[in-house]
Amino acid sequence: MICEILSVGTELLLGDIINTDAAFIAKRLSELGITSYRQSVVGDNAERLRETIGEAFSRSDLVILTGGLGPTLDDITKKITAEYFGVPLLMDESVREDLLRFFDKTGRPMTENNLLQALIPEGAEVFFNKWGTAPGIALSKEINGTLKTAVLLPGPPSECEPMFRECVTPYLKKLTNQTSYSLNLHLYGIGESRAEAILHDMMEQSTNPTVAPYACEHEVRIRITAFGKTEDECRKLCREKAKEISKTEAGKYIYTETNDPWEAKNSVVLALIAALRSRGMTFGTAESCTAGMISSAVGDIPGASDVLLGGIVSYANEVKEKVLGVPRVVLDDFGAVSEECAAAMAKGAKKALGCDIAVSVTGVAGPGGGSEEKPVGTVCFGLAFGDEVITEKVMFNRKSDRMRIRRLTTAHAMMMVIKKLKG
């Protein structure tokens, strides 16, 4: 089944509101095994909306529309969609009663125009809105010998997202009788072009599951997506393909797997915490150019207190010397941005915090402060583990902005620990 997402609202065209609905729905459609090739945005104009709906249905069997279901004059989505299907809008008493209960419960007066939200296209299925007032609607009809389906959802994400999860997902599962499952392989230390070169033949030959690499800021992600009648069937297909990929040259760069958007977004820090927990170890940081970003990233994860003991922000040389015990001779002879300083910082953090493993970073994040010897993007890392101290110097792209260099530094520091713990 091919689906098109159509977002309605002049505020979206003007950039006053970011269209998060479309991204959310696209992700859910992928999970359901529904193909989506196009997304469109149209303003609150009847003629243009009528034209856009017609174009969408000329390409797709299913069109999901968001926005324009409210009680005001510019809320025209329902009316124009009903016109396309050739059905009238009728007062739905159950929706009317639901609206009355909502306003009575909230203690707000209900103006007469709110009842416009109870007008439903004849023959449509209603998704009652537990999060607001405008109900969602699903309408199917054979047009020119082909079954066409429209799903209408309220625009506010606080209503659109839960309604899609609770109401639309079961509806679409019945409609398609198919599901899908995706598995992400996270790779560090390899570029997208190299990963694609390694997996090129597999990507071309594999249709179910599909294999596709994506470049993220600090890593490459290989997304494996399988389609089938059950999730277990899809999971099995993904696992088999992941095993096949792990045996290629790309396999040595895989550091973790995820199948959840939140986990994918936080893959590095979750892998770090998991590696520490599995070994019953504690962790600490000494940060200069990142100013606490590493410890903050770990602390953002619920329950991380069992592995994170603390972090020391040593921006000034005085703090490096007095709190972390970096010898003055190191600062004088090698400078704050040096592997020698990073080593002393890591040792000092491990001692001061009493943790099992400590990582340190010191560098030039820019935009100023660089030199010919140490240009912007130069970062030195230290890792203290037992009696061992490891250092590394990395040259991040000097054209990157300050925040990007700091984010890349944060990820690389955590990956140093992960690699050390995994051997």
Asked whether the predicted pLDDT for residue 178 surpasses 90, the reply is no
Number of compact structural domains in the chain: 3
Is residue 278 located within the same domain as residue 253? no
Is residue 225 located within the same domain as residue 351? no
**Residue 174, both tokens:** 């019945």
pLDDT, residue 294, reads 99
- CB distance 419 to 271 below 8 Å: no
In angstroms, rounded to a whole number, what is the distance separating the alpha carbons of residues 384 and 350?
A: 7
Q: What are phi and psi of 190, to 5 degrees?
A: -140, 145
- CB distance 375 to 364 below 8 Å: yes
Is residue 328 located within the same domain as residue 208? no
Is residue 193 located within the same domain as residue 95? no
Is residue 140 located within the same domain as residue 11? yes
Is residue 132 located within the same domain as residue 49? yes
Is residue 120 located within the same domain as residue 185? no
pLDDT, residue 353, reads 98
Chain mean position to CA 304: 21
pLDDT, residue 177, reads 81
CATH code (residue 390): 3.90.950.20
Task: Please compute Rg for the chain using Cα positions.
Answer: 27
Is residue 192 located within the same domain as residue 283? no
In angstroms, rounded to a whole number, what is the distance separating the alpha carbons of residues 239 and 102?
A: 47
Q: Which of 215, 243, 260 corresponds to the end of one domain?
A: 260
Count, in order, helices (H) and strands (E) of the chain: 16, 17
> Helix/strand/coil (H, E, C) string of 301-350?
CCCHHHCEEEEEECCCHHHHHHCCCCCHHHHHHCCCCCHHHHHHHHHHHH
Give per-residue pLDDT as tens, 74-126: 899 999 999 999 999 999 999 999 999 988 888 888 888 999 999 999 999 99
Is residue 193 located within the same domain as residue 249? yes
Is residue 64 located within the same domain as residue 190? no
In angstroms, rounded to a whole number, what is the distance separating the alpha carbons of residues 322 and 74?
A: 65
Give per-residue pLDDT as tens, 272-325: 999 999 999 999 999 999 999 999 999 999 999 999 999 999 999 999 999 999
Is residue 386 located within the same domain as residue 279? yes
Give per-residue pLDDT as tens, 35-77: 899 999 999 999 999 999 999 999 999 999 999 999 998 899 9
Q: Which of 127, 147, 176 corresponds to the end of one domain?
A: 176
CATH code (residue 103): 3.40.980.10
Residues of the domain holding 164: 2-176
Residue partners of 76: CB distance under 8 A and separation at least 6: 8, 44, 46, 49, 68
- CB distance 164 to 28 below 8 Å: yes
Is residue 165 located within the same domain as residue 201? no
CATH code (residue 208): 3.30.70.2860
At residue 411 the predicted structure's pLDDT band, cuts being 50, 70 and 90, is very high
Q: Which of 214, 242, 260 corresponds to the end of one domain?
A: 260
